[in-house]
């Protein structure tokens, strides 16, 4: 017995041993499951994420009930600091709250100069976080780590992701200034306040959804991510526990081992590789690397398999990760991570996952010696999503050669592929001056590179920034044509109303799809994020939409797609609906009655082209 109100002492002991470089007696499991706990207890989101007693006891009660080893507290880790800087929050009954950065906190240097550093003991929900962590220690004896929003991710929250990427290209000085401010005035004081407020505290863990591949390139990782994480550690007394462990993109690194070297430099206590990357790269390759370093290791089991997998699939994944993770001379410094039990995860699946862990520990190992992960493993769906962010495997698209074009159009094409907006603009003017028809400039020069860019993204050769930069260069060229197009009332290929569904604040994928559609000549009416059915229907009617496109990134918000499609049908609105987003599948699309499904941006464009053509031929 621990002498504390909640007894997690056995698991905590193992975790602490691993964090201090020692061997554990058994493989402990950590997780992220606040949303599941909230749903399981039937507590409203506003109450759960603003009352320390409700939040901490709610998490502990449910985690104790399901037999988890180590207390887990994950709040809306990406919004607390941005909220304290004046960002707007969106609150939901059954979901994590989230920052709504539709109106960004910072647009330029003036906005940055006006920003006030928050007081961690007073501002917004920073004191709530500190109090939750203090209470967790009081109730369990575990000085739970603080999760902070990593510098790049916080910059993306206060500026918006696309604007940040653009600024990295066009005004890197400003980005460095912003990152300095965020590290020195926001994050370091917040983390240092935590070290004072929670006496046994040792760990501050960065959450960084967009600070890694393929959201930024490897060069950007080196320039904008790593130095600021190092600086933050320095400002927090050089503690090894000030780290940032949840980078993605291992499967897209030129050289995964080099990428892991960087990961270890920002998270010296251990290497964490999580799904879908872990499954794609393969557990054995990661294990071999960790052996050469003698470092502690953690594998993360993906959200989707935990929510939707069969008992056999869940057990296979858990057992492979535990077996390979705990192999070899450093295998006792291994812990397992369940990436997330969402509100939609059936309680039975949580039991199956925890039971799989216990069976493995007890020696009941029906899949012993079997490896399912790795590049030659199973279809991408099994990797925790249908591709990863709509990106496939590298080899697929290599060697494609485009059609022959006139020199001027080829030059326009090349300028977009080289992200050179100024050159693109000059070339489009030259083409106009030499009498090339506007439609030809579009069809031969400006639109084709967007198809190529989409293909390169789908095959993993381009990352998100390259796609954004190409779209921007193309738009610069398009601006030259816009007055002529408007004057001639040139019709777009079709009108698409795009939205991320209610409850969901993810928009990077939707925006890429929107850009590709614009690049293909469609007019896109973008309703942004967190959008209700009524708004979508009203807009589709107003703009006479040819297609409605819905995006969702959370398994918890996917059900809104069904509701929206039902309402569209009830309204008698005859507009085809297409759906997409990481957790959405073709089967789900069929099931909710969508007219189409796009695995990635190029597929969404093809789909809209087909649906518009079908609509036209039906009307003829």
Q: Tell me the C-alpha distance between 523 and 207, whole Å.
A: 36
For residues 218 and 436, which CB has a smaller minimum distance to ligand B1M in the complex?
218
Task: Find the shortest distance in angstroms from Cβ 160 to ligand B1M.
Answer: 7
The distance of closest approach from Cβ of residue 603 to ligand B1M in the complex, given in angstroms and rounded to an integer, is 7
Question: What minimum distance in Å lies between the beta carbon of 327 and ligand B1M?
Answer: 25
* Shortest Å, Cβ 557 to ligand B1M: 7
Of residues 77 and 537, the one with the C-beta less far from ligand B1M: 77
Residues 6+ apart with CB under 8 A from 585: 381, 386, 597
Q: Provide the total of helices (H) and of strands (E) in the chain, helices listed first.
A: 29, 14
- Gap between the Cα atoms of 348 and 514, Å rounded: 38
Lookup: tokens for 456: 């390169």
CB-nearer residue toward ligand B1M: 321 or 409: 321
* Nearest CB to ligand B1M, comparing residues 189 and 583: 583
Kindly tell me which of 411 and 511 has the beta carbon lying closer to ligand B1M: 511
- Which of 257, 260, 292, 283 minimizes the C-alpha distance to 375? 283
Instruction: Please answer whether residues 354 and 66 qualify as being in contact, where contact means their C-beta atoms are separated by less than 8 angstroms.
Output: yes
CB of 369 to ligand B1M, least distance (A): 28
Phi, psi of 338 (to 5 degrees): -95, 115
By beta-carbon proximity to ligand B1M, the closer residue of 339 and 408 is 339
Long-range contacts for 160-166 (Cβ within 8 Å, ≥24 apart)? 160/101, 160/104, 161/210, 161/215, 161/507, 161/508, 162/468, 162/508, 162/511, 163/104, 163/107, 165/216, 165/464, 165/465, 165/468, 165/469, 166/468, 166/469, 166/472
| Closer of 89 and 117 to ligand B1M (Cβ) | 89
Whose Cβ is closer to ligand B1M: residue 106's or residue 481's?
A: 106
How are beta strands 98-100 and 88-90 bridged, if at all? antiparallel
Q: Residue 277 Cβ, how far from ligand B1M at the closest point, in Å?
A: 9
Q: Where are the alpha helices (DSSP H) in 115-238?
A: 126-140, 151-159, 161-170, 172-181, 188-197, 218-220, 226-235
CB 77, min distance to ligand B1M, A: 5
- As measured in angstroms, the least distance from the Cβ of 609 to ligand B1M is 13
For the bound state, the minimum distance from the C-beta of residue 76 to ligand B1M, rounded and expressed in Å, comes to 4
| Main-chain phi, psi angles of 490, to 5 degrees | -60, 130
Q: Which pair of structure tokens corresponds to residue 109? A: 């240097």
- CA–CA separation, 118 and 115 (whole Å): 9
Contact 261, 277 (CB under 8 A): no
State the minimum distance, in angstroms, from the CB of residue 380 to ligand B1M: 12
Q: In terms of CB distance, is 427 or 516 closer to ligand B1M?
A: 516
Task: Please state the closest distance from residue 214 (CB atom) to ligand B1M, in A.
Answer: 8
How near is the Cβ of 437 to ligand B1M at its closest, in Å? Answer: 32
Return residues touching ligand B1M (CB under 6 A): 74, 76-78, 95-96, 98, 153, 161, 209-210, 248, 303, 339-340, 342, 389-390, 464, 503-510, 512-513, 549-551, 553-556, 578-583, 598, 600-601, 604
Closest distance to ligand B1M from the beta carbon of 525 (Å): 13
Determine the angle formed by the axes of helices 161-170 and 151-159, rounding to 10 degrees: 110
Q: How far apart are CA 233 and CA 402, in angstroms?
A: 48
User: Using CA atoms, how far apart are residues 46 and 532, in angstroms rounded to an integer?
Assistant: 19
> For 112, phi and psi rounded to 5 degrees?
-65, -40
- Give dist(CA 169, CA 152) in Å, integer: 14
417 or 513: CB nearest ligand B1M: 513
Nearest-approach distance from CB 291 to ligand B1M, in angstroms? 26
CA distance 443 to 449: 10
Q: At what angle do helices 226-235 and 188-197 cross, to 10 degrees?
A: 40
Q: Which is nearer to ligand B1M, 33 or 412 (CB)?
A: 33
**What DSSP state is assigned to residue 555?**
T
Strand-pair category, 523-526 with 495-500: parallel
Collapsed DSSP state (helix, strand, coil) of residue 30:
strand
Residues contacting 292, CB < 8 A, separation 6+: none
User: What is the smallest separation between the CB atom of 215 and ligand B1M, expressed in angstroms?
Assistant: 7
Q: Which is nearer to ligand B1M, 295 or 468 (CB)?
A: 468
> Looking at beta carbons only, is 21 or 52 nearer to ligand B1M?
52
Residue pair 594/580 in contact (Cβ under 8 Å)? The answer is no
Considering the complex, state which of residue 189 and residue 576 has its C-beta at the smaller distance from ligand B1M: 576
DSSP E strands in 531-572: the ranges are 547-551
- Structure token pair of residue 619: 């009307």
In contact, 211 and 225? CB cutoff 8 Å: yes
Nearer to ligand B1M, 286 or 601 (CB): 601
DSSP state of 355: H
């Amino acid at each position: 017995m621990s002498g504390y109100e909640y007894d997690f002492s056995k698991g905590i002991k193992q975790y602490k041993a691993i964090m201090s470089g020692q061997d554990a007696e058994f493989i402990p499991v950590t997780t992220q499951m606040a949303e599941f706990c909230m749903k399981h207890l039937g507590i409203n989101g506003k109450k759960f994420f603003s009352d320390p007693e409700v939040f901490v006891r709610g998490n502990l009660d449910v985690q104790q009930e399901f037999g988890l080893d180590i207390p887990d507290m994950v709040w809306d880790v990406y919004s607390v600091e941005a909220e304290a800087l004046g960002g707007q929050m969106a609150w939901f009954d059954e979901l994590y709250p989230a920052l709504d950065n539709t109106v960004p906190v910072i647009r330029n240097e003036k906005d940055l100069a006006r920003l006030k550093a928050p007081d961690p003991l007073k501002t917004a929900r920073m004191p709530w976080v500190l109090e939750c962590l203090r209470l967790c220690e009081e109730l369990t004896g575990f000085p739970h780590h603080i999760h902070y929003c990593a510098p790049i991710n916080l910059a993306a929250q206060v500026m918006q992701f696309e604007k940040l990427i653009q600024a990295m290209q066009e005004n890197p000085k400003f980005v460095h200034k912003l990152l300095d401010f965020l590290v020195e005035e926001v994050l370091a004081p917040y983390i240092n306040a935590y070290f004072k407020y929670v006496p046994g505290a040792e760990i501050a863990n960065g959450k960084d959804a967009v600070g890694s591949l393929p959201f930024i390139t490897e060069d950007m990782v080196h320039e904008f991510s790593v130095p600021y994480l190092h600086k933050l550690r320095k400002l927090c007394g050089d503690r090894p526990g000030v780290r940032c462990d949840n980078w993605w993109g291992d499967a897209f690194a030129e050289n995964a081992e080099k990428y892991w070297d960087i990961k270890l430099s920002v998270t010296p206590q251990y290497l964490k590789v999580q799904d879908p990357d872990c499954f794609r790269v393969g557990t054995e390759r990661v294990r071999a690397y960790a052996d050469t370093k003698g470092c502690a290791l953690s594998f993360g089991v993906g959200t989707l398999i935990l929510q939707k997998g069969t008992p056999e699939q869940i057990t296979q994944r858990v057992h492979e990760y535990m077996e390979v993770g705990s192999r070899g001379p450093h295998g006792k410094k291994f812990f397992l991570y369940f990436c997330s039990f969402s509100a939609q995860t059936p309680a039975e699946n949580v039991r199956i996952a925890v039971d799989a862990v216990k069976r493995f520990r007890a020696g009941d190992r029906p899949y012993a010696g079997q490896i399912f992960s790795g590049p030659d493993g199973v279809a991408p769906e099994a990797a925790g999503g249908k591709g990863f962010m709509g990106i496939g495997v590298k080899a697929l698209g290599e060697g494609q050669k485009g059609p022959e074009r006139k020199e001027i159009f080829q030059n326009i094409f090349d300028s977009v592929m080289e992200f050179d907006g100024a050159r693109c603009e000059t070339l489009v003017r030259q083409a106009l001056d030499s009498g090339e028809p506007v439609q030809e400039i579009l069809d031969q020069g400006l639109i084709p590179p967007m198809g190529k860019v989409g293909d390169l993204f789908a095959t993993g050769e381009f990352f998100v920034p390259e796609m954004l930069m190409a779209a921007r260069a193309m738009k610069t060229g398009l601006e030259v044509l816009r007055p002529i197009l408007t004057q001639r009332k040139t019709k777009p290929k079709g009108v698409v109303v795009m939205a991320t569904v209610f409850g969901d604040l993810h928009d990077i994928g939707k925006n890429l799809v929107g850009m590709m559609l614009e690049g293909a000549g469609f007019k896109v009416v973008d309703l942004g994020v967190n959008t209700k059915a009524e708004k979508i229907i009203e807009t589709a009617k107003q703009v006479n939409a040819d297609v409605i496109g819905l995006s969702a990134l959370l398994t918890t918000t996917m059900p809104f797609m069904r509701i929206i499609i039902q309402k569209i049908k009830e309204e008698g609105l005859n507009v085809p609906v297409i759906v997409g987003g990481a957790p959405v599948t073709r089967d789900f699309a069929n099931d909710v009655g969508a007219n189409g499904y796009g695995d990635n941006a190029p597929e969404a464009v093809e789909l809209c082209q087909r649906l518009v053509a079908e609509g036209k031929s039906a009307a003829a």
